[in-house]
A and B are shown apart, each in its own frame.
Chain A
Amino acid sequence: MADISIADLKTKAKIIRKEIITSTTAAGSGHPTSSLSAVEIATALFFGGMMRYDAKKPDWPDRDRFILSKGHAAPLLYAVLAEAGYFSADQLPTLRKLGSPLEGHPNMRRLPGVEASTGSLGQGLSIGIGHALAAKMDKKDYRVYVLLGDGETDEGQVWEAAMSAKKYQLDNLVAIVDQNGYQQTGPTAEVLDLRPQGPRWEAFGWFAQEINGHDLEAVLNAFEKAAQTKGRPSVILANTVKGYPLQDLLKADPNHHGKPLKADEAEKALALLDQMVT
């Protein structure tokens, strides 16, 4: 692990959360709560020494890949990529605006650091397998990380992908399921209950870990363990809270799916984040 402290990572996470809230509220649309639940996961990967990348060389063949399969969490991806130096954070307020490369869902042809164009759920893990197979063929040691939503795992393609990743023993592939417990129309437990997911992935031949997805140390440890796992792919089932840590503010509508915070809510949210201990 790089010489970055948990306190430093928490500071990064706070910056990213603020950008998510600010950019979606400015855009007047978007998915802030779906983005907020996965902040620690992305922060650990990009800033906790888990991923090898060079923001000045986004096409570097040996880079680790991060694929946002849950493409509606684009505000998270953009905030992370800006913080990592792929482009200026000055661009973040252009989210969803005409002419901006920061589209509503990620477009790999318009923005450096975006590894896949996503937004139609269920497709990112298959793409990740392609990258991981290419690494094996070329005897490269880069790793591939794919972030999925828990609702997204309703899609059959996810399980087609899970089966083939096991066949090819892709120990350079890590799936992370952001188990924030909600999908578009309600709790995942009501729409299509797939928990516990661990036994499902294990039955498909994966190494599964279930963790608190907001505990940075736990997240880092899980990535470390995944990296040490040989001969099979890894999945990290990250238990998260949709909209974290604004659940009290959003308690009238805890899902708050696909809706930005109103200006006054955003103001309160930013103040709340400032009060949080890092």
Chain B
Amino acid sequence: MATGKSTREAFGLALAELGAELNDIVVVDGDVHNSTRTEHFAKRFPDRFFNVGIAESNMVGVAAGLASSGKRAWLASFACFVMCNAYDQLRMSVAFPCLDVKVVGTHAGISIGEDGPSQMGIEDVSLACSLPNFTVVVPADEPSMTCAVRAIAKLKTPAYLRAGRPNVPIVYENGCDIQIGKANQLRDGKDVTIIANGLMVSAALAAADQLASEGIQARVLDMHTVKPIDEAAIASAAADTGKIVVAEEHLLHGGLGSAVAMAVVKQKPVPMRFVGLNDCFAESGPPEGLLQKYGLTAADIVRAAKELI
């Protein structure tokens, strides 16, 4: 797989493009636009860009007010800062009144590397899923992030979009279609299903290749939308393959694994395994080294799949 841009860069570019088409899009920033890449929007549309300083609570409230007066409000910060520092504001000022505010959390997961645990959003998906009215989307790569920005922009309701820091492999080399709430099947197989999102989709494909070389046929689903989850695709996976591995760059509690497991037991309980961060913080280090140390690689997915077979 060729390496593409980071999902944060893809987000920033897509948002700026969207800004050219829709003049009621506004962006609120907590002084991290060069990190979140909303700088692309800021440079082109300075009159529609508001940097309120390092003040996430106010950032969310200002976006809510702009949305209440008819703007399509977007805001972006590090996943951990916006979700953890401003959670009450997301809950009361955005989710409860169901406003058209799009929340983008960048630097999600442990793959941010050397900056370490204080900057790593490892609980953001769980928190976002706990906000009623929110749609939650975790794109895998540059093309799917570009599509996802457009897909959630069509919603009139709040959404959380997760982006990562490093450049990531291109999963969708021939373009892609992101439909909210509909998983993309990237590989078919009869022996096991690997359900992943974000950075772990490319790892899932690499794992499927490895398993195939050992005679195990794995289905791979890109579950880019965590809420609403694609229950039909999960039910089919359970029925057709009888075993499911879920892989995410997130704490195991409350993330994709939890959402998939709930859907599985509603339809057809099957054995499952979960690849993710197991109730711990990570540490500083190079991204690749961290992903290995904390069990977020293709090899970890292969091992989990084999446990089921």
In B95-118, the 8 Å CB interface with A consists of 96-98
Pick the residue among B52, B71, B92 that contacts A117 (CB under 8 A).
B92
Q: Does A247 contact B (CB under 8 A)?
A: no
Task: Return chain A residues, CB-CB under 8 Å to B60.
Answer: 126
Which residues in B have their C-beta under 8 angstroms from that of A157? 55, 57-58, 61, 89
* B contact residues, total (Cβ < 8 Å): 30
Pick from A120, A125, A130, A167: contact of B88, CB below 8 A.
Answer: A120
A35 to chain B, nearest CB (A): 20
Residues facing A in B38-82 (CB within 8 A) are 47-48, 50, 52-53, 55, 57-58, 60-71, 73
Q: Mark A122-166, 1 if CB is under 8 A from B, else 0.
A: 110111111111110110000000000000000011001101100
For residue B93, which residue of chain A has the nearest CB? A123
Q: Are B70 and A126 neighbours in the complex by a CB distance under 8 Å?
A: no
With A137-B47, A157-B58, A168-B50 already in contact, the answer to whether A131 and B97 are too (CB < 8 A) is no
Q: By the criterion CB–CB under 8 Å, are A134 and B89 in contact?
A: no
A120's partner among B48, B63, B64, B92 (CB-CB below 8 A) is B92
Across the interface, B65 reaches (CB within 8 A) one of A61, A119, A131, namely: A131
B65 touches A163 (CB 8 A): no
Question: A109 contacts the other chain (Cβ, under 8 Å)?
Answer: yes
A118 within 8 A of B: yes
Tell me which of A109, A115, A129, A138 contacts B61 (CB under 8 A). A129
Tell whether B26 is near chain A: CB-to-CB under 8 Å. yes
Of the candidates A126, A135, A156, the one whose C-beta lies within 8 Å of that of B62 is A126
Residues of chain B lying within 8 A (CB to CB) of residue A9: none
Question: A133 to B65, Cβ gap below 8 A?
Answer: yes
In the complex, whether A108 has a CB less than 8 A from a CB of chain B is: yes
Q: Chain A contacts of B48 at CB under 8 A?
A: 137
For the complex, would chain B's binding face be called helix, strand, loop or mixed by DSSP majority?
helix
Interface of A is mostly: helix
A127 touches B26 (CB 8 A): no
Pair B62/A115 contact, Cβ less than 8 Å: no
**B57–A127 contact, CB under 8 A?**
no
In the docked arrangement, what's the CA distance between A126 and B60, Å?
Answer: 8
Is A130 a contact partner of B65 (Cβ separation < 8 A)? yes
A126 contacts B89, C-beta separation under 8 Å: yes
- Mark A98-111 against chain B: 1 for CB-CB distance below 8 A, else 0: 00000000011100
- Cβ contact within 8 Å between A123 and B61: yes
> Do residues A130 and B70 form an inter-chain contact, with CB atoms below 8 A?
no
* A125 neighbours in B (Cβ, 8 Å): 61
* Residues A159-198 near B (CB distance < 8 A): 160-161, 163-164, 167-168
B56 to chain A, nearest CB (A): 9
Cα(A125)–Cα(B57), bound, Å: 11
The reply to whether A116 and B97 form a contact with Cβ atoms under 8 Å apart is yes
Closest A residue to B30 by beta carbon equals A160
Determine the distance from Cα of A274 to Cα of B96 in the docked complex, in whole angstroms.
40
Least Cβ–Cβ distance between B26 and chain A, in angstroms: 7
A187 to B123, CA, bound (A): 39
B98, A134: Cβ atoms closer than 8 Å: no
Task: Give the chain B neighbours of A117 by CB distance below 8 A.
Answer: 92-93, 96-97
In the complex, what residues of A have CB within 8 A of residue B67's CB? 130
Chain B residue at minimal CB-CB distance from A168: B50
| Chain B residues in 8 Å Cβ range of A115 | 68
Residue of B nearest to A117 (CB): B97
Which of B53, B67, B71, B93 counts the most chain A CB atoms within 10 A? B93
On whether the beta carbons of B57 and A137 are closer than 8 Å, the reply is no
Least distance between B22 CB and chain A CB atoms (Å): 14
Least Cβ–Cβ distance between B77 and chain A, in angstroms: 14
Q: What CA separation (Å) do A138 and B47 show in the bound complex?
A: 11
Contacts of A138 in B (CB 8 A): 69
Q: Are A126 and B97 in contact (CB under 8 A)?
A: no
Give me the 8 closest cross-chain CB pairs, A-B, nearest first: A130-B65, A126-B61, A134-B69, A160-B58, A160-B55, A127-B65, A130-B66, A157-B57
Some 10 contacts from A to B, beta carbons below 8 A apart, are: A61-B69, A108-B97, A125-B61, A127-B62, A129-B58, A133-B50, A137-B71, A157-B58, A160-B52, A168-B50
Measuring CB to CB, which residues of chain B are less than 8 angstroms from any residue of chain A?
Answer: 26, 47-48, 50, 52-53, 55, 57-58, 60-71, 73, 88-89, 91-93, 96-98
- Which residues on A are within 8 Å of B, measured CB to CB? 61, 107-109, 115-120, 122-123, 125-135, 137-138, 156-157, 160-161, 163-164, 167-168
**Besides A123-B57, A134-B65, A168-B50, 16 other CB < 8 A contacts?**
A61-B70, A108-B68, A116-B64, A117-B97, A123-B88, A123-B92, A127-B62, A128-B65, A129-B65, A130-B61, A130-B71, A133-B66, A135-B69, A157-B61, A160-B57, A164-B58
